[in-house]
Chain A
């Protein structure tokens, strides 16, 4: 790994540090604010569990961010993360509990705008939707849990000291759970933009456990979060625990549990699978904001208690911060990318080439799109998305949906199933049938990803996506991940860390 890679990763570490200083403080904020847990204890537990959560189950939400915008050059990842980190740092200085999630989404959209990459509106709407649902859900859970806890305390009548000891233990356990969920959910914010551009390679520990490049990235990011927690989160913890509303220790516990549950719901792949297999609606795995969750939870408790103790002007400031954060991050990212590209001559995105070949036209036609308006572009190659989109926009007779379809199928990837590359296939990653199917195609070249995917699907049942119903959601997602892995490993251009 060269020094440049380390330099670019540094902004991810800065973002991790901001997340530790700001978001992680939310987990133990109420506990430390009510003096039930000492800061040192909170910091240690928080750091350890953030690392565990990030490395063990950090994958789920990262995928969603990758879909929002595949930042495909390290320079771009650097600036997206830096813009987000700076926005969070700035807002923290201004005393507002903001969220890394919002900042990084702002940063990615800034990159999308700069590189003229299509922002996946479906994913963006999902993410924005969770920003509204997350605090509401946290408020609802907190309100119910608070009622239940108060009732339980009334019935069981524990001794004052016993209740205190239980609350303390409960705060530690809930905080550990919250930190784990935070790591699992929010590590995507810190390192998600680096995943498509990861400089690491997979390796095996003791020949047994595969330590994937993503997990290595996440470990480094999580360590940065830990440093943020230990060095800078104290003041934020006290503010979170006391500024919005004075909380009793029991209410503090309720807030931590509600916050942790919400983060867990939005990060757990296991839960998603379980829901899907039972035909229930699934919860999108989206990096949500711990600040929003905890503010929602505190608000829920406040409303149950009659709403008198809530400081509404503080809440207003927090709400304004939530709107401003993604805007600031997006703006910084856009401006920063301009400088990085034009002043420092760094590659901030790789132009994705497009080609309108016969193959593409046939494929698009199969999707029910009329290809007649594309006649003029047939056979032409375009150096970048910007150029291609410009040409498409000039055509009449193509609606937005058809244009999006053409963009998807015309994207060039230039894949080469190099027989030499088969040695690196991980039997844990792919099953035997899948490997055999790949082997039958060895030596062939594909211009488009979808072409390779379809060729594989023809070779083996195990490469076929299942019909898009809820039960198959996680299966398809897993398969898509394997396809992405194949695309990454058999990209024709292996120079640079990027092959997405």
Chain B
């Protein structure tokens, strides 16, 4: 009886650690979601008033979120491997977290671009830029929900996954339309190229969200077989 009690007692802190790790994964996903919201807000502010103090504040929010998410991710990965947790799916979880992290980096990179290069966005393109940012952030929101479902309720992953695809397509449509409009305009070629690079910055976010969704689909199949 004694060794049984001992091994059970040894596992109580295991559950505590498990709970802590669950919370860390949730926190990581929260950071990504918050970064998305801040990104959308930052783009709206930039379109309305340029690189204002409020914009810089949002940029610094995203910066902070990115670095704390990085920190969380490293902690989670180290724990998964040092404690040999979820041996069957830890590689997948690792891939998922790293890909989600790269989405965060894209948010940050795009906002730094706005801050450093301060592109001059003519009035007629601002609406589409806002829509593009909206679709990209919606895609990221959906991939965050799908990732949460991957951990908590595997059957619900599909409910969110198809939305990621939908938003990516929408973002593609808007970005194509926007690029055509930019290059059909009277602006200088340098200005056109500059604007195009920002369309791509934002569109990349939606593309990356879709890449993550594709991987997540495979991880999900692996777990349900």
Contacts and interface: CB of A to CB of B under 8 A. Distances in A.
Determine the interface band of chain A, counting residues with CB < 8 A from chain B: 20 to 34
A164 to B, nearest CB: 5
Contacts of B93: 160
A161 B11 contact: no
B7 A159 contact: no
A161 B14 CA distance: 11
A403 interface: no
Contacts of B3: 45, 48-49, 176
Contacts of A173: 4, 7-8
Contacts of B88: 34, 248-249
Interface string B15-31: 10011011001000000
B143 to A, nearest CB: 17
Contacts of B84: 35, 38
Contacts of A249: 87-88
Contacts of B21: 161
A36 interface: yes
A160 B11 contact: no
A46 B193 CA distance: 69
Nearest to A36: B87
A154 interface: yes
B22 A176 contact: no
A6 to B, nearest CB: 30
Given A34-B88, A49-B3, A249-B87, A160 B151 contact: yes
B181 interface: no
A162 to B, nearest CB: 6
Nearest to B152: A159
B155 interface: yes
Contact of B4 (A154, A159, A176, A248): A176
Nearest to B148: A159
Contacts of A45: 3, 7
A172 interface: yes
Contact of A176 (B7, B18, B89, B155): B7
A49 B2 CA distance: 11
Interface in B1-50: 3-4, 7-8, 11, 14-15, 18-19, 21-22, 25
Contacts of B25: 161
A159 B86 CA distance: 11
Contacts of A48: 3
A165 B14 contact: yes
B189 interface: no
Nearest to B153: A157
Given A35-B87, A36-B87, A157 B11 contact: no
Give the interface residue-count category, chain B: 20 to 34
A340 B15 CA distance: 58
Chain A interface SS verdict (over half):
helix
Contact of A34 (B4, B15, B85, B87): B87
A172 B152 contact: no
B150 interface: yes
Nearest to A44: B3
Contact of A159 (B8, B14, B22, B155): B22
B86 A169 contact: no
Nearest to A250: B88
A273 interface: no
A168 B84 CA distance: 11
Contacts of B11: 165, 168-169, 172
Contacts of A165: 11, 14-15, 18, 85
Interface in B134-184: 150-153, 155
Interface in B52-100: 84-89, 93
Contacts of B4: 173, 176
Contacts of A168: 11, 14
A161 B155 contact: no
Contact of A160 (B19, B87, B89): B89
A248 B18 CA distance: 20
A173 B22 CA distance: 24
A414 B7 CA distance: 53
Given A154-B155, A168-B14, A161 B8 contact: no
Nearest to B222: A248
A248 B153 CA distance: 18
A161 B7 contact: no
Given A169-B14, A176-B4, A161 B87 contact: no
A426 to B, nearest CB: 27
B92 to A, nearest CB: 10
A154 B22 CA distance: 19
Contact of B8 (A34, A38, A169): A169
Interface centre among B11, B15, B19, B86 (most CB of A within 10 A): B86
Contacts of A162: 15, 18-19, 22
Given A45-B3, A157-B152, A248-B88, 14 more contacts: A34-B87, A35-B87, A38-B84, A157-B153, A159-B18, A159-B152, A160-B151, A160-B152, A161-B25, A161-B151, A162-B22, A164-B18, A168-B14, A169-B11
Interface of A: 34-36, 38, 45, 48-49, 154, 157, 159-162, 164-165, 168-169, 172-173, 176, 248-249
In the A-B complex, list the 6 residue pairs whose CB atoms are closest, starting with the nearest.
A35-B87, A165-B18, A164-B86, A160-B151, A157-B153, A169-B11
Interface of B: 3-4, 7-8, 11, 14-15, 18-19, 21-22, 25, 84-89, 93, 150-153, 155
29 contacts: A34-B87, A35-B87, A38-B84, A45-B3, A48-B3, A49-B3, A157-B152, A159-B22, A159-B151, A159-B152, A160-B93, A160-B151, A160-B152, A161-B18, A161-B21, A161-B25, A161-B85, A161-B151, A162-B22, A164-B18, A165-B14, A165-B15, A165-B18, A168-B11, A169-B8, A172-B7, A176-B7, A248-B88, A249-B87
